[in-house]
Amino acid sequence: MAIDNTCLVIGDINIDFNIKTSYYPPEGGETHAEESVFRLGGSGCSTALILQKLGVQTSLAANLGDDLFAQFALDHIRPTGLDASLVKKNSAHQTGFFMILVTGEAQRTMFGNRGANAVPIPLELVRTGVDQAQHIHFSGYNLLGDDQAQAMMTVIRYAYENGKTISLDPGTHTCKAVPDRVINTLPYLDCFLPNSAEAQLLSGHAKEDAQIAFLLRKGCKSVVLKRGECGSRFTTTSQDIQSPAISLDGHTIQDTTGAGDSFNAGFLFGMLTNATSATALTIGNAAGFLMITAAGGPLDFLNRKNLIRDINQLIK
């Protein structure tokens, strides 16, 4: 039986090596790292950790290798209270690893190896988690491999047939590599959470209204568009709500890594706690803003003593 206000995230876990430098070097060149840090990452993992931090009972289904990075990940996940019983180790693959170069105006360039994240998560492994959760959130990176995409679609259909609410963050690389697979998920989704670049890639339209209209025609109940410095937008066939981005003097953007994942968690928190769509957008914007202005990135963000209070103060 599903428990109210609970979420299962089916996604990815990475170890991120973040390097901050003043400029991007030419091929064969070099640059001095002003800051560098290993930290826990992955779209699914980040969204799950933040949802748990916000007080939503959350579980994560994902794959790790059987290596030192896997232990690093679990050592960071377990103390948060996030249910990691569906996180599995796979000795045949290494833990996902990304190098993220942050340059100039806090823009990021990513080099990644998905590792164990590319292993399919079959229905029999996550059925209990799906049954017990009210909401299921998917990372679109699960659609990249043929076997993985087939397994993910089986889980999506099972969740849909059993009355779960479902959301998906597609991921830019997925939208470029396998756009048809992303579009095929849309009839099952209550919330589709692309950013502006992803909406354009999937729809082929340059104008935002045309992008959203295309996605709604393909079957999703709502499009929740992440618009960067322009804020966010929630659209259904009967509603169209926009929420401006948050900007405060004295708060400098440090690193845009994780902004979309943080927005996802904030928006889903609002949805699962029965907030209005407008309020859910605002909470998402606030969560994203706090992430990108955290001096220490995700670690500082997740170490906040009372994230809900900080978001509420920011909104007010």
Tens of pLDDT, residues 236-286: 999 999 999 988 766 677 767 778 999 999 999 999 999 999 999 999 999
CB 164 within 8 A of CB 132: no
Number of domains the chain is built from: 1
Phi-psi region of 186 (alpha: psi -120 to 50; beta: other; left: phi over 0): alpha
Joined together, the tokens standing for residue 294 give 């955290």
Stated as kind and residue range, the H or E segment containing 285 is helix 277-292
pLDDT at residue number 22: 85
Look at residue 30 and tell me if it is in a domain: no
pLDDT at residue number 1: 54
Burial track 1-26 (b if 16+ CB lie within 10 A, e otherwise): eeeebbbbbbbbbbbbbbbbbeeeee
Look at residue 233 and tell me if it is in a domain: yes
pLDDT at residue number 106: 63
48, 52, 53, 55 alpha-carbon torsion, rounded to 10°:
140
Report helix, strand or coil for 159: helix
Look at residue 270 and tell me if it is in a domain: yes
Look at residue 223 and tell me if it is in a domain: yes
Look at residue 232 and tell me if it is in a domain: yes
Cβ-based neighbours of 297, under 8 Å, separated by 6 or more = 18, 37, 39, 254, 255, 257, 258, 291
CA distance 139 to 44: 6
pLDDT at residue number 316: 77
Provide the residue count of the chain.
316
Residue 226 sits in which domain range?
Answer: 6-12+42-95+116-315
pLDDT at residue number 315: 85
CATH number at residue 242: 3.40.1190.20
pLDDT at residue number 131: 97
Look at residue 269 and tell me if it is in a domain: yes
- For Cα atoms 242, 248, 249, give the angle at the middle one, nearest 5 degrees: 150
> Within its chain, how far is the Cα of 251 from the centroid?
23
pLDDT at residue number 203: 98
Place of tokens 């003097």: 249
Look at residue 216 and tell me if it is in a domain: yes
pLDDT at residue number 137: 98
Look at residue 21 and tell me if it is in a domain: no
Report helix, strand or coil for 76: helix
pLDDT at residue number 102: 82
Report helix, strand or coil for 103: strand
The CA distances from residue 107 to 28, 104, 169, 250, 258, in Å, are 21, 6, 20, 19, 12
Low-confidence residues in the chain, pLDDT < 70: 1-2, 104-106, 249-251, 255, 295-299
